[in-house]
Amino acid sequence: MTENNHSSKSDEEWKKKLSPEQFEICRKKATEPPFSGGYYNCKEKGIYQCVCCGNDLFSSNTKYDSGTGWPSFWDSINKENVKTESDSSYGVTRIEVMCSKCNSHLGHVFDDGPSPTNQRFCINSASLKLKKMDA
């Protein structure tokens, strides 16, 4: 399988690679309960990667405590590494954030974040893996 072909995996292939929670969140667009994920309160330095394909998504340098119970970032590592689209599920229009490489559901982005971007990428811990770096 080529590096850019992750989104063509079948559900059965994803179920073999991911935990049940990761599968529901990343492939079926579920959301983990607030304050339940492993990274919402994480202070370690590193790069947050897509749990499905390893794409670099967010840096600990842009992570902040939004008080929402999910890992929050004021910017992505690279605009090409994430993509967004309108999400009207649950009767509310939001902007969904996905991995541009494998289409994994990551969370949502809102316009109530801190400077300099005023964005809050509200991301599910289960969709991430932290590649730790030395301080």
pLDDT surpassing 60 at residue 4:
no
Q: Is residue 1 part of a domain?
A: no
pLDDT at 73: 98
pLDDT at 13: 95
Q: Per residue in 73-84, is it b (16+ CB within 10 Å) or e — as a string?
A: bbbbbeeebbeb
Tell me the C-alpha distance between 108 and 95, whole Å: 5
pLDDT surpassing 60 at residue 1:
no
CB 3 within 8 A of CB 12: no
User: pLDDT of 49-89, one tens digit each?
Assistant: 999 999 999 999 999 999 999 999 999 999 999 999 998 88
Q: Is residue 16 part of a domain?
A: yes
Looking up residue 113, the CATH number of its domain turns out to be: 2.170.150.20
Q: Is residue 2 part of a domain?
A: no
Mean pLDDT of 20-27: 97
Q: Is residue 81 part of a domain?
A: yes
pLDDT surpassing 90 at residue 96:
yes
pLDDT at 134: 72
pLDDT at 7: 65
3-state secondary structure of 88: coil
Annotated active-site positions, please?
A: 122
Q: Is residue 3 part of a domain?
A: no
Q: Is residue 42 part of a domain?
A: yes
Mean pLDDT of 101-112: 96
DSSP 17: H
Tell me the C-alpha distance between 49 and 51, whole Å: 6
The token pair that represents 1 in the structure block: 């399988």
Q: Which domain holds residue 111?
A: 8-132
Count of the separate structural domains present in the chain: 1
Tell me the C-alpha distance between 126 and 107, whole Å: 10
